[in-house]
Amino acid sequence: MKKTILTGLRPTGNLHLGHYFGACKNYIKMQDDYDFYLEIADVQALTDNFNHPEKVRFNVFEITKDLLAIGLDPNKVNFFIQSKIPEIAELTVFYSNLVTVSRLERNPTVKSEISQKKELFGANGESITYGFLGYPVSQAADITAFHGELVPVGDDQLPLLEQCREIVRKFNSIYGETLVEPEQVLSSTTRVKGLDGNEKMGKSLGNAIYLVDDAETIHKKVMGAVTDPKKIRKDEPANPDICMVYYYHQLVSPKKQVEKVCQECKLGSRGCVQCKKELIAAMNLFLMPIQERRKYYEQQPEIVQKILDEGTEKARKKASEQMKKVKHAMKIDY
């Protein structure tokens, strides 16, 4: 029997290259070998977007189209919407007894998110909501509702996975062996830096290239990318290792071209404008098949809806079986 993999994404915006190279590219390989559940985590997205329900709703469909566009096969991956699985909400309530408030407050991922969302949660997190503080509990429910054994996520999600394992251990020790402790699937890919050289690519940082970006947008963004600041004239040698244009060539250009860029940059036989133009061409070539596939789904929204409906139905079935076991263990199977 295939092992179960579960992962989730918050529908708050389109996928960018950071998502793609940092996580989603791995899903494509995994879809053949696992029983794959892919959650569109709208309930989690609402924890810090409760005042923007239309944004979350819109992005449920946007992100699903992005995921289909990169080559995930709906016959292999169960796409589902979190809010349509009531078992997740139920489990969240049960698990909330098994975790202390101070433990949640110490969760490094939650802590750093609170400090980034001052306008919502206050300068010192004094206006933190019960829902946001508790979303790791809900994420533990996401994973365990499907008997998720493997969770492919980036390093930033490790504290959430650890929190989930703790809840599982506590549950099993009190109510008897019922749940499995999920393991992280280490991604072979790395975190992608932003066009500005920032360690992280993100929407709020304004340094991201999106899978849906058109040629004009790509042109503008790449032209503004950070290069070796010491290079002023085009025939001056420079250091490609501190240049974001070279960094992106490594992601999307053929190996030979990458070597050429590196050599010529070091020799001073390559100008930055030319170098950027070549990156723009390579980037467009990379995005073309993704955007072609996306167009297919954009033109037929009913297919996207059907994929979500069918995936959700399968997910619901799996979660309700798991729920029976949980309620039995907790002696609430009246």
Name the residues that contact ligand TRP, by CB under 6 A: 6-10, 39, 41, 44, 139, 142-143, 151, 153, 157
Which of ligand SF4, ligand TRP, none does 35 bind, CB closer than 5 to 8 A by kind? none
Which of 193, 221, 270, 318: binder of ligand SF4 (CB under 6 A)? 270
Minimum distance, C-beta of residue 239 to ligand SF4, in the bound complex (Å): 7
Closest to ligand TRP by CB, 125 vs 152, is 152
DSSP state of 210: B
Amino acid at 72: L
Stretch that binds ligand SF4, among 103-111, 235-243, 284-292, 312-320 (CB under 6 A): 235-243
The two tokens of residue 157 are 């999600």
Distance CA 53, CA 60 (A): 11
- Pattern 179-218, ligand SF4, x by CB under 6 A: ----------------------------------------
Closest to ligand SF4 by CB, 16 vs 276, is 276
Outline where DSSP puts E strands in the chain. Answer: 4-9, 35-40, 77-81, 150-152, 183-185
- Pattern 243-262, ligand SF4, x by CB under 6 A: x-xx--------------x-
The two tokens of residue 323 are 């729920």
Asked if residue 147 binds ligand SF4 (CB under 6 A), the reply is: no
Which of 265, 283, 307, 326: binder of ligand SF4 (CB under 6 A)? 265
Closest to ligand SF4 by CB, 221 vs 231, is 231
Closest CA to 170 of 106, 104, 95: 95
Stretch that binds ligand SF4, among 46-54, 169-177, 265-273, 292-300 (CB under 6 A): 265-273
Which of 231, 304, 307, 323: binder of ligand SF4 (CB under 6 A)? 231
Stretch that binds ligand SF4, among 130-138, 169-177, 270-278, 308-316 (CB under 6 A): 270-278
Minimum distance, C-beta of residue 189 to ligand SF4, in the bound complex (Å): 22
Q: Which residues pair with 185 in a beta bridge?
A: 152
Minimum distance, C-beta of residue 96 to ligand TRP, in the bound complex (Å): 16
3-state helix/strand/coil string of 19-84? HHHHHHHHHHHHCCCCEEEEEECHHHHHHCCCCCHHHHHHHHHHHHHHHHHCCCCCCCEEEEEHHH
Closest to ligand SF4 by CB, 47 vs 253, is 253
Which of 26, 59, 82, 227: binder of ligand SF4 (CB under 6 A)? 227
User: How many residues interact with ligand SF4 (rule CB under 6 A)?
Assistant: 14
Distance CA 259, CA 253 (A): 10
Residues that bind ligand SF4 (CB under 6 A): 227-228, 231, 238, 240, 243, 245-246, 261, 265, 270, 272, 275-276
